Chain A
Amino acid sequence: DGGITQSPKYLFRKEGQNVTLSCEQNLNHDAMYWYRQDPGQGLRLIYYSQIVNDFQKGDIAEGYSVSREKKESFPLTVTSAQKNPTAFYLCASSPLRYRGVSGDTQYFGPGTRLTVL
């Protein structure tokens, strides 16, 4: 099946520890994204990448880091510098389209729920 996988589904970490969330896609999409969702709120963009070995900060990048060494993988590291890391983390991917062509639809993975103890 083609799709986006995120692991693990639930993750617990102790305060002060770094943790890495996995995101893999086999859709051959060029662009990948990381969002964060807090209870009762919309999604906020953390980082995104349009091509291998390149990525850009989103609205709330502080305390997070990413890498894009392979087209199909975009892991997110939540560092100890992130003040409120407990949240639902969502990874998405999309094909790239030229401006004006039908929109570059983003498809989401199932999410990872991170809880800091």
Chain B
Amino acid sequence: DAKTTQPPSMDCAEGRAANLPCNHSTISGNEYVYWYRQIHSQGPQYIIHGLKNNETNEMASLIITEDRKSSTLILPHATLRDTAVYYCIVRVGGNQGGKLIFGQGTELSVKP
């Protein structure tokens, strides 16, 4: 079972910031928070991941609360091409060779 909880759907206006929340209240100290997205009929695309500190890359920012029980993915200027299902995943880092457990994710609709 997925260890994360996300809202099933969200809307965002084009050009505005999209803030996607994720709850992971049972996260362990050595587990990372990963975000992927999947556009219909395509493979999941890696977005960003983090352990404790906030992270930013060319795609998005990841804000992790101090207690690490929740996080927010921020797409600063959403475009229509950002419409996708966004998955928040927690897993142990390192040489685990293990699976990614995808929950139901959040279906983000960016509207003009």
- Chain A: residues with CB nearer than 8 A to chain B? 4, 6, 31, 33, 35, 42-43, 45, 48, 50, 56, 58-59, 88, 90, 92, 96-111, 113
Contacts known (A58-B99, A107-B46, A111-B41); A99 close to B93, Cβ less than 8 A: yes
Taking a contact as CB atoms under 8 Å apart, the answer to whether A88 and B41 are in contact is yes
Cβ–Cβ < 8 Å partners of B112 in chain A: none
Scoring B residues 70 to 112 as 1 if CB is less than 8 Å from chain A, else 0, what string do you get? 0000000000000000010001111111111111110000000
- Chain B: residues with CB nearer than 8 A to chain A? 2, 30, 32, 34, 41-46, 49, 51, 87, 91-105
Cβ–Cβ < 8 Å partners of B87 in chain A: 42
CB proximity of B58 to chain A, nearest CB, Å: 15
Q: Which of A98, A99, A110 contacts B43 (CB 8 A)?
A: A110
Contacts known (A97-B94, A108-B44, A113-B41); A59 close to B34, Cβ less than 8 A: no
Taking a contact as CB atoms under 8 Å apart, the answer to whether A90 and B94 are in contact is no
Taking a contact as CB atoms under 8 Å apart, the answer to whether B34 and A105 are in contact is yes
Task: Tell me the interface secondary structure of chain B in the complex.
Answer: loop
Taking a contact as CB atoms under 8 Å apart, the answer to whether B32 and A108 are in contact is no
Q: List 22 A-B contacts (CB under 8 A).
A: A6-B43, A35-B99, A42-B105, A43-B99, A45-B99, A48-B97, A58-B99, A92-B43, A96-B95, A97-B93, A98-B94, A99-B30, A99-B93, A100-B93, A102-B51, A103-B32, A104-B93, A104-B95, A104-B96, A105-B34, A107-B46, A110-B42
Taking a contact as CB atoms under 8 Å apart, the answer to whether A31 and B97 are in contact is yes
